[in-house]
Amino acid sequence: MKLESGNFIDDLYRWYNAYSNQMKALSYSKNTIELYSRAINNFIEYSLQYQDEVTLAEVKSIYITGYLAYLDNEAKLNGVKIKNGNHLSKSTKQTYLKAIRGFFTFISDNNDELYTFERFFKNIKVADSSKVEEKLIYLSEDEIGRLLNQLMKDKKTKSDYGSYRDSLLVKLMLYGGLRISEALGVCLDNFKEGQGDNMYSIHIYGKGGKDQIAYINKTVIENELDYFINEADLNISDPIMKTGSGLPLRRDNSLQIVNSIYKRAMIPKTGLHILRHTLAMRLTKEDVNPIVIQKILRHSNLNTTTIYAKATEESVEKALCPILGSLGGVK
């Protein structure tokens, strides 16, 4: 079977169906099949929040430990009392981890590309699964500076549509927290004046098919928008993220482009979703209220009681402006 043939969630269901058929063919016990099915279905439910940020080939150990933390938090929400620092017992986590390891071992053994996942399970320790935040992959301040300098250099040396497109793509994710699918769909008329003088609200077709609003500081992207308005001769309703031949820029194209920028900037990391992670981590380090971070990143589930609180656009502007300087240059 092909490792990937659709979107992330469809691929998980496709492999789950094949794995389920194998368990039945090999006469796994009814209890084992039910347990493994429950673990995998919970994993797919957990994965829904990342369906626009991750592909199957991008699943790594942090994603697995994040799943274990998700299970613990779900137990908390269901009223399970805390014990030894966790709501879900160590043995239960080990059982679910075993089920997920078996699932990904099956994928490793049966995909046509010979892609393997075993190395990502090798060093996972259930006792450390609550320390997910410490292991999140994101850009350091030095790497952010190098990334922005590379974008600036590309615009100066190439001065073409692609260099400004790539710069805007990165900044929408790094400063506005857009998902790649959202960033790929933006048009000039999606950018509206915010309540404050320093902000754009970006009206986007967000995760789950919902109309959403993201926010970004105007000064971050004014150079790019000026180019598209005054030099690119772009209609306000035309998608900005397109190839040189006018075709829509795809996610796989975007990943190659951004990884190439990382490489030229001497950044030893890859991936699109780390840009959103970087914004989230910077906001967290600035002690921004989690509800405001939820507003900025438009997470549907904060998994805490504060999910019901309200964040205003003014609080979003107050949160984003202080980190503008700490993230480095803006043009």
> Where do the structural domains in the chain lie, given as residue ranges?
8-135, 141-326
Element (H, E) at 276: helix 273-285
CATH code assigned to 141-326: 1.10.443.10
Using DSSP's 3-state secondary structure scheme, residue 212 falls into strand
Provide the b/e sequence for 102-116 (b: ≥16 CB within 10 Å): ebbebbbeebeeeee
CA dihedral 319, 137, 214, 228 (to 10 degrees): 110
- Per-residue pLDDT 10s for the chain (331 aa) are 999 987 899 999 999 999 999 999 999 888 889 999 999 999 999 998 887 778 899 898 888 888 888 888 888 887 777 766 677 788 888 889 999 999 999 999 999 999 999 888 887 876 543 443 335 688 999 999 999 999 999 999 998 999 999 999 999 999 999 989 899 999 999 999 877 778 999 998 755 556 889 999 999 999 999 999 999 988 899 999 999 899 999 888 999 999 999 999 999 998 898 998 889 888 878 878 878 888 888 876 655 323 323 455 556 676 777 777 667 655 5
Q: Is 47 left (phi over 0), alpha (psi -120 to 50) or beta?
A: alpha
Q: In DSSP terms, which residues pair with 205 in a beta bridge?
A: 211
Return the DSSP state at 187.
B
Residues with Cβ within 8 Å of residue 306, at least 6 apart in sequence: 290, 291, 294
